[in-house]
Amino acid sequence: MSLLALVDAVKESALADLKTAADLSALEQTKGSYLGVDGRFTTLLKQLGTLPKEEKPAAGKAVNAAKMAIEAALANRRSELELKAALPKEPTDFTLPGRPRFLGRLHPLTQVTDDIVRAFRKLGFAVADGPEIEDEYHCFDALNTPADHPARDAQDTFFASENARSTSANPVGDHLPLLRTHTSSVQIRVMKSQPPPIRIIIPGRVYRRDNADATHNPTFHQIEGLYVDRDVTMGDLKGTVEAVFKELLGGDTRLRFRPHYFSYTEPSLEIDFTNPLVKKLGKDWLEIAGCGMVHPQVFENVGYDPEVWSGWAFGFGIERIAMLRYGITDIRLFYENDLRFLNQF
Ligand code: DAH
């Protein structure tokens, strides 16, 4: 028999044996008997060298093709046998009940925030955002609250160390970095970045050096509103806030505006509201927000002409609304991540 015919015969025999190997160890034995040091195919390979020169190229080609075929058959059978070995020995019982997946849900504060945002969107407000690591300029100075202003003492503040000053990853500006005490800082950022008119709300987390108790937490959430255009009036402010609170807390909600002081608004007001939920708590009114007409100095600070532009702003706490809506009496429940609490919403 010629070498070529032999190669072919050994190949066919190898393919047949590999195909019928019953398990992985039988497969390894079969492999050895063909491709091992003394294997049948290896022996043929050695004979290649004895061929006359002119027969070598054709024979070499045939041997290579045969070897590739054997190796492919080997890999193929190996993966079949590996799969078989990995399958369970016992048949699977497909009638067993499945494991139910635990479905998460939105945090109650997120739900309330979403509702507030939806209510303002209907009135044409867009959502704006700003950094939680702020600086004194945006948090206080630009809001007409200079360093020696008494209102600044009232906001116990988390200052970052001098070393934490701005980097490219955290561009807080030239001023001492701090955790923002209110979302009002974003008013400045937005007004500095675009010309009027402006109609935005800013939901976000804020930080104060408060001790946690049933109604305080060092971090909580606010929604800020800012409306700037020509001829904006306090009537617009009242109408807007009233529409949103009625939508959030029910049509029987009533608002009351009390004179107050904020350095970035003039005049400034606090908003109280009442509805049957408030009465149920044994209260007549609950304070809910601060607001007012944007102070001309704030417009100057951001480069708006106060003779041309007018506006109002407000800020209120989200937790307060959520507590009222769901009848929650301890603010700390929101932050404990206790599923027994969170699953109720
Ligand atoms: N920044 C105030 C606070 O945290 C709330 C506030 C009051 C926001 C009046 C305003 C405003 O935009 O006009 O208590």
Residue range 90-126, pLDDT digits in tens: 888 888 888 888 888 999 999 999 999 999 999 999 9
For the chain, what's the residue count?
Answer: 345
Instruction: Single out the residue of 225, 9, 1, 229 nearest to residue 120, CA to CA.
Output: 225
CB 183 less than 6 A from any atom of ligand 1: no
In angstroms, the CA 299 to CA 110 distance is 32
Query: Whose alpha carbon is nearest atom 5 of ligand 1?
Result: 315
* Phi-psi sector, 171: left (phi>0), alpha (psi -120 to 50), beta: beta
Residue 100: how many CA atoms within 13 Å on its side-chain side?
3
The whole-number pLDDT of residue 172 equals 47
Confidence of residue 157 (pLDDT cuts 50, 70, 90): confident
CA of 268 to the centre of ligand 1 (A): 9
DSSP, residue by residue, 90-131: SPP-TTSPPPPPPP----HHHHHHHHHHHHHHHTT-EE----
CB 200 less than 6 A from any atom of ligand 1: no
Single-letter amino acid code for the residue at 331: I
Which atom of ligand 1 lies closest to the CA of 226?
A: 12
Whether 109 contacts 319, CB under 8 Å = yes
CA of 290 to the centre of ligand 1 (A): 5
The whole-number pLDDT of residue 48 equals 82
Question: What is the edge-to-edge ordering of all strands in the sheet holding 254-260?
Answer: 126-127, 198-207, 219-229, 310-317, 286-294, 265-274, 254-260
Residue 169 has pLDDT above 60, yes or no: no
* Phi-psi sector, 250: left (phi>0), alpha (psi -120 to 50), beta: left
- Stretch among 36-45, 129-138, 156-165, 222-231 having the lowest mean pLDDT: 156-165
CB 185 less than 6 A from any atom of ligand 1: no
The whole-number pLDDT of residue 92 equals 81
The mean of the pLDDT values for the chain is 90
Confidence of residue 63 (pLDDT cuts 50, 70, 90): confident
Confidence of residue 155 (pLDDT cuts 50, 70, 90): low
The whole-number pLDDT of residue 174 equals 52
CA of 291 to the centre of ligand 1 (A): 6
Query: Whose alpha carbon is nearest atom 14 of ligand 1?
Result: 290
Residue ranges of domains in the chain, CATH in brackets = 3-86 (no CATH), 109-342 (3.30.930.10)
- Does residue 228 or residue 103 have the better pLDDT? 228
CA quadruple 329, 332, 333, 335: dihedral sign: positive
- To test the ligand 1 pocket, which listed residue (182, 200, 268, 297) has its Cβ within 8 A of the most ligand atoms? 182
Residue 163 has pLDDT above 80, yes or no: no
Residue 168 has pLDDT above 80, yes or no: no
Q: Which long-range contacts (CB under 8 A, 24 or more apart) does 158-165 make?
A: 158/207, 158/208, 158/209, 158/218, 160/133
CB 315 less than 6 A from any atom of ligand 1: yes
Residue range 34-47, pLDDT digits in tens: 999 988 888 888 88
CA of 260 to the centre of ligand 1 (A): 11
CB 224 less than 6 A from any atom of ligand 1: yes
- To test the ligand 1 pocket, which listed residue (237, 264, 266) has its Cβ within 8 A of the most ligand atoms? 264
Instruction: Single out the residue of 234, 288, 240, 222 nearest to residue 266, CA to CA.
Output: 234
The whole-number pLDDT of residue 126 equals 97
CB within 8 Å of 45: residues ≥ 6 apart: 63
3-state secondary structure of 227: strand
- Stretch among 119-133, 147-161, 261-275, 279-293 having the lowest mean pLDDT: 147-161
